[in-house]
């Protein structure tokens, strides 16, 4: 336990040193001004309908190592909207990593008056060398292979409020995966049991239903978010592979002490695929949001379920603490899930709030699993 805390805080110190160095490079006159560059970047004029920030970005994860870039964040409110209407949001980030990866991601969330209509989307481009471990819940680390790909994708969702806090909608997803290359002698490149190992184009459409009572989408202190969705990938939509995706995402935020904002956050996630799923679209365990500490895709299969429980507690002003426990596993068929197959997951993290209105945070997490660990430096909560 002592070694764990030493490693965790050394990671934090490393990231902060990098952050200070980056800010000093961008700053030309910080020593001559009363406000630092960081203070000027994160400050928002709330008297304007449109609020924006431009800031340097530093990320870290096991899949990317250290990443540098820039971010643009826009928030706005319609002058005719009621006070209960959520602020609309648009974000765009460009990041280059130590692993020679490029990640450009833009997203938006637009709310009509009284949140009756909701339009959201995510558009991105990836150039992403990484590891592929194969398929199954009992893979060995030495079986992994290095491969690289480029990818353009977008995900557009439209929701309409049919009852109080209940939304129905439709989701369209497009993904073009190209310039795929494997290491010499790869056992995955031409494996007949894997689809799309030389690239693929998929296009899917499907319905969704959601129940949302969260008070803040990015850092809720109370409420719930329950989402059930389905995507149908078909040649009718131009998809090269035919399969279905079923996703269940259940989140509950329980205030233990409202005055001190002690929150118990619960999350159950399930992703189930049926049909010709491309090799890189098989549900994957691990990453920076669920099962933190496991390399993303270290276990893949047609079906994936995971659960996490996180304790959120303020420490001092804009700084707060997170600790969590979780578990998850993948399986070829739903009836193959069993108790011995669940992977353990624990971790601890810190949050630094940089936008009070949206409660957006800088996130630092150290996660641990079975024979694995990972550090993450990101923006906003894991869930």
Secondary structure (DSSP) of 8-70: HHHHHHHHHHHHHHHHHHH-SSGGGSSS-HHHHHH---TTSSEEEEEEEEEEEETTTEEEEEE
- Name the residue among 151, 135, 133, 137 with its Cα closest to residue 62: 133
Does 295 map to a domain? yes
CA of 221: how far to CAs of 7, 15, 313, in Å?
29, 27, 11
Does 45 map to a domain? yes
What is the count of structural domains for the chain?
1
CATH of residue 176's domain is: 2.40.160.50
Does 2 map to a domain? no
Does 79 map to a domain? yes
Question: pLDDT digit of tens for each residue in the chain (383 aa)?
Answer: 445 444 554 555 454 444 443 333 333 333 333 444 434 444 444 445 677 888 888 999 999 999 999 988 888 887 778 887 878 889 899 999 999 999 999 999 898 888 899 899 999 999 999 999 999 999 888 889 999 999 999 999 999 999 888 999 999 999 999 999 999 999 999 899 999 999 999 999 999 999 999 988 778 999 999 999 999 999 999 999 999 999 999 999 999 987 778 999 999 999 999 999 999 999 999 999 999 999 999 999 999 999 999 999 999 989 999 999 999 999 999 899 999 999 999 999 999 988 777 788 899 999 999 999 999 999 889 99
Range of the domain at 154: 41-378
Does 107 map to a domain? yes
């Amino acid at each position: 336990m002592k070694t764990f805390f030493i490693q965790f805080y050394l990671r934090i110190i490393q990231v902060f040193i990098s952050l200070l160095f980056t800010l000093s490079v961008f700053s030309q006159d910080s020593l001559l001004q009363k406000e630092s560059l960081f203070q000027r970047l994160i400050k928002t004029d709330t008297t304007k309908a449109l609020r924006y920030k431009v800031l340097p970005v530093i990320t870290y994860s096991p899949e990317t190592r250290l990443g540098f870039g820039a971010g643009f964040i826009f928030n706005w409110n319609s002058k005719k909207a009621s006070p209960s209407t959520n602020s609309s949001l648009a974000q765009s980030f460009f990041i280059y990593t130590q692993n020679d990866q490029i990640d450009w991601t833009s997203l938006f969330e637009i709310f009509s008056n009284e949140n009756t209509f909701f339009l959201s989307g995510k558009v991105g481009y990836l150039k992403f060398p990484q590891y592929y471990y194969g398929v199954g819940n009992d893979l060995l680390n030495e079986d992994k292979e290095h491969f690289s790909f480029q990818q353009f994708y977008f995900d557009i969702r439209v929701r309409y409020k049919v009852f109080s806090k209940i939304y129905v909608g439709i989701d369209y997803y497009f993904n073009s995966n190209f310039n795929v290359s494997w290491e010499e002698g790869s056992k995955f490149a031409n494996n007949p049991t894997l689809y799309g190992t030389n690239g693929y184009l998929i296009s899917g459409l499907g319905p969704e239903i959601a129940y949302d009572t969260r008070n803040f989408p990015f850092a809720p202190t109370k409420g719930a978010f329950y989402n059930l969705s389905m995507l149908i990938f078909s040649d009718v939509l131009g998809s090269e592979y035919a399969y279905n995706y079923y996703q269940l995402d259940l989140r509950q935020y329980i205030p233990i002490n409202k005055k001190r904002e002690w929150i118990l956050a619960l999350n159950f996630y399930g992703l189930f695929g049926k049909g010709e799923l491309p090799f890189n679209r098989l549900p994957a365990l691990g990453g920076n949001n669920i099962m933190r500490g496991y390399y993303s895709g270290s276990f893949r299969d047609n079906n994936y379920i995971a659960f996490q429980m996180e304790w959120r507690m303020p420490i001092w002003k804009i700084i707060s603490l997170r600790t969590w426990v979780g578990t998850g596993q993948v399986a070829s068929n739903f009836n193959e899930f069993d108790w011995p197959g669940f992977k353990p997951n624990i971790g601890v993290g810190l949050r630094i709030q940089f936008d009070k209105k949206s409660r957006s945070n800088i996130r630092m997490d150290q996660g641990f699993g079975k024979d694995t660990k990972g550090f993450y430096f990101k923006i906003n909560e894991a869930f």
